[in-house]
């Protein structure tokens, strides 16, 4: 029986790369916002011809870095 709680491995598919639509779905943001982040180089990605692919490991790492950065900023605000 599978646990109701998602572990770290279940947050993203086991695929090597996902497309922007799937990444947006995983992050619970709109496709428009995802493409904006990709266009500005915020989200790590690779282009193969006209296709945009987002390596899942890179996305996980980016998301982790964002949570660390945001936590540090919030701590700084609390001490100000």
Kindly give the interhelix angle for 20-27 and 56-79, rounded to the nearest 10 degrees.
40
Each residue's pLDDT expressed in tens, for the chain with a length of 80 residues: 454 555 555 565 578 999 999 999 999 999 999 999 999 999 999 999 999 999 999 999 999 998 887 777 777 766 65
Q: How does DSSP assign 26-39, residue by residue?
A: HHT--HHHHHHHHH
**DSSP collapsed to 3 states, 24-79:** HHHHCCCHHHHHHHHHCCCCCCEEECCEEEEEHHHHHHHHHHHHHHHHHHHHHHHH
**Distance, first Cα to last Cα, the chain:** 48
> What local confidence, expressed as pLDDT, does residue 73 receive?
73
């Amino acid at each position: 029986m599978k646990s109701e709680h998602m572990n770290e491995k279940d947050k993203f598919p086991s695929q090597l790369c996902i497309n922007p639509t799937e990444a947006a779905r995983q992050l619970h943001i709109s496709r428009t916002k995802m493409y904006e982040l990709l266009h500005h180089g915020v989200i790590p990605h690779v282009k193969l011809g006209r296709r945009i692919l987002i390596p899942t490991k890179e996305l996980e790492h980016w998301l982790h870095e964002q949570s660390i950065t945001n936590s540090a900023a919030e701590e700084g605000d609390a001490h100000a």
